[in-house]
């Protein structure tokens, strides 16, 4: 069996290594257009920020590793330029010499990744404007940042006037995870960073109210956000500065500009073979990663995948799915019956010591696909037992089916152990679990790691309380003319109070039930929803109609941010 793999990074490299483990006799050629195979593109923003100091740390395996350990004929600087599916051949161009050769294949795997969106804006090719996709990209950015730095110019030891103005201002365009990670790293390097984003939020997969919390956090850590504004062009100003001009008429001067406007599937090569391209612009594959040509497979950022929750075709550019798909393609080529289950888009981003993570469907996705059979809850559990030092609240939003309790999606933000909660929920979604399963999940606990009721259990208990009718809820955006009962302590009201509320602290409520209306629905509020739940149970058992305002004053904060 002769297999050619195009693309030598996430999907391609994992396919090559897996195939060798399954078939010692296969002839495997892996071609990579760039100078490196199997490098850690996820680490590039941290190399720019000097967190990962050495470029060599990003090179997970070299061409030689593939040759010696896996007997894979790995060829760097080698671009596949045309596929002839009838003859089952690929034309390969040596990027250094320009020489073109032809190789035959029995099976072909495409893992060409994605191309960075680069609109034809005026001035986009000016020096100082970069993208973050490859090791050479990161090297060019580092060199640009360091050119003019005091150290490199040898001026850190010079006591006279400095003639080279150090670079201090950066503009990052695009608020996706690569843009944000790069922006954070530039802040760490002492840059004054403005992030320009055309949408009205950063991190588009998050629901807006959750993104608002992230944005507040970013601004508190020194990142300037210019949302709802697109870049219209770039101009060279004096002294090497680039003026970044936006559609709203603003100008942001920058010493360095990072373009991070998203990616689109690289389908150029697939098109030479006439492979089917899907409605979202990615290569169409079946659940065994087979394209419309049964001898050609495709994996990674270049393909369309089925969204695991909604069943719709989508584009998900993530390393985990690319690696799994590469492995599945290898399995299938080697005669195994492996299948890809679809993608949930499980993601995490670290920002200034905090993390935002999500999995499954968001509320906006469910609304977009016209799904009405869902409910959402907001909760703010501690990351571990509150009495053990270092506990931090985690802001969580969990979405589930109203009809059967199936878990649909979750988003979480916080400064401690957000990842393990979203990872547990991601696994639950993939297993088709319900919120009732979350109630019963047996998870690690000792005070420094969690709580006897872990945030994952807690999410299940709150959601199950809603579906069982123990805790009917309402959300701030749909609160109307109901009677608003605030059960917090008076001292808390001094910090923040919602209009029209009547305050009866939880401890006094039993004695003061007579002050509450029986002919009106009562919406109960506290800080996070927990004391409101205790009050609500008391009210319901005393014949009142009561609902909990999900997430209490903390979720009101999100909604208010949306309005303002
Ligand atoms: C800066 C950055 C940070 C990221 N951070 C994360 C993260 O934290 N978590 C996460 O899950 N994902 C992250 N990703 C996304 C993740 O890296 C990708 O989803 C993943 O690498 C996709 O794998 P792939 O094999 O499809 O493409 P790639 O890994 O991009 O590999 C494709 C390779 O194919 C080569 N190629 C293309 N066409 C040809 C051709 N015709 N001939 C020969 N070679 C060709 C390209 O040069 C490229 O090296 C990040 C990406 C970047 C750029």
Q: How confident is the model at residue 165 (pLDDT cuts 50, 70, 90)?
A: low
Torsion of CA 454, 456, 458, 461, to 10 degrees: -140
Which residue minimizes the CA distance to atom 35 of ligand 1?
7
Pocket test for ligand 1, best of 11, 16, 42, 283 (most atoms within 8 A of CB): 42
Centre of ligand 1 to C-alpha 274, Å, is 23
Give residue 506's Cα distance to chain centre: 39
Atom from ligand 1 closest to the CA of residue 36 = 49
Per-residue pLDDT averaged across 58-70, rounded? 93
Tokens representing 207? 């629901």
pLDDT score recorded for residue 147? 79
Ligand 1 contact, 103 CB (< 6 A): no
- Residue 38 pLDDT > 50: yes
How many of the other CB atoms lie within 10 Å of CB of 482? 18
What is residue 152's predicted lDDT score, i.e. its pLDDT?
A: 45
Ramachandran bin of 240, using left for φ above 0, alpha for ψ from -120 to 50, beta for the remaining angles = left
Q: Identify which of 232, 9, 260 has the alpha carbon closest to the alpha carbon of residue 111.
A: 9
Residue 240's pLDDT is 79
Q: Is 209 in the pocket of ligand 1 (CB under 6 A)?
A: no
What mean pLDDT is reported for the chain?
Answer: 94
Q: What is the pLDDT of residue 320?
A: 96
DSSP strands (E only) in 17-77: 27-31, 73-75
Task: Among 9, 15, 79, name the best residue to mutate to test ligand 1's pocket (greatest count of ligand atoms within 8 A of Cβ).
Answer: 9
What number does the ligand 1 atom closest to the CA of 317 have?
Answer: 19
The one-character DSSP state at 65 is: H
Please indicate, yes or no, whether the overall pTM of this predicted structure exceeds 0.85: yes
What tokens appear for 402 in the block? 């109203």
Of residues 547 and 155, more confidently modeled = 547
Q: How far is the CA of 486 from the centre of ligand 1 (A)?
A: 51
pLDDT at 148 over 70: no
Mean pLDDT of 470-492: 93
Residue nearest to atom 28 of ligand 1 (CA): 113
Q: Which residue has the tokens 């730095």?
A: 149
Lowest mean per-residue pLDDT among 153-157, 287-291, 338-342, 424-428: 153-157
Q: Is the CB of 38 under 6 A from ligand 1?
A: no
Counting Cα atoms < 13 Å in the Cβ hemisphere of 174 gives 20
Residue 251 Cα distances to 241, 254, 256, 285, angstroms: 12, 10, 14, 44
Task: Indicate whether residue 317 lines ligand 1 (CB < 6 A).
Answer: yes
**159 SS3 class:** coil
**Index of the ligand 1 atom closest to the CA of residue 43:** 3
Nearest to 486, CA basis, from 522, 520, 517, 518: 522
Pair 530, 545: CB distance under 8 Å: no
Among 314, 318, 317, 298, residue whose Cα is nearest residue 306: 314
User: In the block, which residue shows the tokens 């039993």?
Assistant: 510
Q: How far apart are CA 341 and CA 367, in angstroms?
A: 23
Tell me how crowded residue 514 is: count the other CB atoms within 10 A of its CB. Answer: 6
Helix (H, G, I), strand (E, B) or coil at 431: coil
| Confidence tier at 60 by pLDDT (50, 70, 90) | confident
Cβ 83 vs Cβ 90: under 8 Å: yes
Q: What is the dihedral of CA 304, 400, 355, 471, to 10 degrees?
A: 170
Phi, then psi, of 287 in degrees rounded to 5: -75, 0
- Is the pLDDT at 51 greater than 90, yes or no? yes
Pocket test for ligand 1, best of 103, 105, 112, 272 (most atoms within 8 A of CB): 112
Instruction: Please say if the pLDDT value at position 166 is more than 90.
Output: no
Q: What integer pLDDT is reported at residue 164 of this predicted model?
A: 61
Q: Give the position, in ligand 1's atom list, of the atom nearest the Cα of 301.
A: 26
Closest CA to 346 of 326, 318, 322, 376: 318
């Amino acid at each position: 069996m002769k297999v050619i793999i195009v693309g030598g990074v996430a999907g391609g490299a994992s396919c090559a290594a897996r195939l060798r483990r399954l078939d010692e006799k296969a002839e495997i050629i892996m071609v990579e257009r760039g100078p490196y195979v199997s490098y850690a593109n996820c680490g590039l923003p941290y190399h720019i920020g000097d967190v990962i100091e050495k470029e060599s740390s990003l090179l997970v395996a070299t061409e030689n590793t593939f040759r010696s350990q896996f007997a894979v004929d790995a060829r760097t600087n080698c671009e596949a330029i045309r596929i002839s599916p009838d003859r089952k051949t690929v034309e390969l161009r040596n990027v250094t010499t320009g020489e073109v050769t032809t190789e035959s294949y029995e099976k072909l795997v495409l893992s060409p990744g994605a191309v960075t969106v680069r609109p034809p804006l005026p001035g986009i090719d000016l020096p100082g404007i970069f993208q973050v996709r490859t090791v050479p990209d990161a090297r060019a950015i580092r060199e640009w940042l360091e050119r003019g730095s005091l150290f490199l110019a040898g001026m850190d030891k010079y006591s006279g006037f400095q003639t080279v103005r150090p670079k201090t201002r950066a503009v990052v365009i695009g608020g996706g995870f690569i843009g944000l990670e790069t922006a954070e790293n530039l802040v760490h390097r002492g840059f004054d960073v403005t992030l320009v984003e055309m949408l009205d939020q950063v991190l588009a997969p998050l629901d807006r109210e959750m993104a608002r919390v992230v944005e507040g956090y970013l601004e508190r850590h020194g990142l300037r956000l210019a949302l709802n504004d697109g870049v219209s062009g770039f101009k060279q100003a004096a002294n090497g500065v680039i003026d970044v001009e936006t559609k709203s008429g603003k100008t942001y001067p920058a010493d360095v500009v990072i373009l991070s406007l998203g990616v689109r599937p690289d389908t150029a090569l697939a098109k030479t073979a006439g492979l089917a391209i899907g409605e979202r612009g990615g290569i169409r594959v079946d659940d065994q990663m087979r394209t419309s040509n049964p001898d050609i497979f495709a994996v990674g950022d270049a393909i369309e995948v089925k969204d695991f929750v909604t069943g719709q075709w989508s584009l998900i550019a993530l390393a985990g799915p690319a690696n799994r798909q590469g492995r599945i393609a290898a399995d299938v080529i080697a005669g195994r019956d492996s299948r890809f289950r679809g993608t949930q888009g499980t993601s995490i981003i670290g920002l200034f010591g905090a993390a935002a993570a999500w999995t499954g469907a968001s509320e906006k996705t469910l609304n977009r696909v016209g799904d009405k059979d869902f409910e959402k809850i907001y909760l703010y559990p501690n990351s571990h037992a509150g009495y053990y030092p270092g506990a931090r609240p985690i802001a969580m939003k969990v979405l589930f089916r109203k009809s059967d309790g199936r878990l649909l999606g979750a988003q979480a933000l916080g400064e401690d152990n957000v990842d393990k909660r979203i990872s547990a929920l991601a696994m639950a979604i993939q297993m088709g679990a319900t919120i009732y399963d979350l109630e019963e999940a047996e998870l690690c606990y000792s005070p420094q790691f969690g709580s006897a009721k872990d945030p994952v259990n807690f999410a299940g208990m709150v959601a199950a309380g809603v579906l069982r009718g123990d805790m009917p809820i309402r959300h701030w955006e749909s609160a109307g003319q109901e009677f608003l009962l605030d059960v917090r302590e008076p001292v808390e009201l001094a910090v923040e109070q919602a209009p029209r509320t009547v305050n009866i602290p939880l401890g006094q409520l039993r004695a003061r039930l007579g002050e509450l209306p029986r002919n009106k629905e009562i919406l109960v509020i506290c800080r996070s929803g927990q004391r409101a739940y205790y009050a609500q149970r008391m009210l319901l058992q005393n014949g009142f109609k009561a609902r909990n305002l999900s997430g209490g004053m903390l979720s009101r904060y999100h909604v208010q941010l949306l309005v303002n």
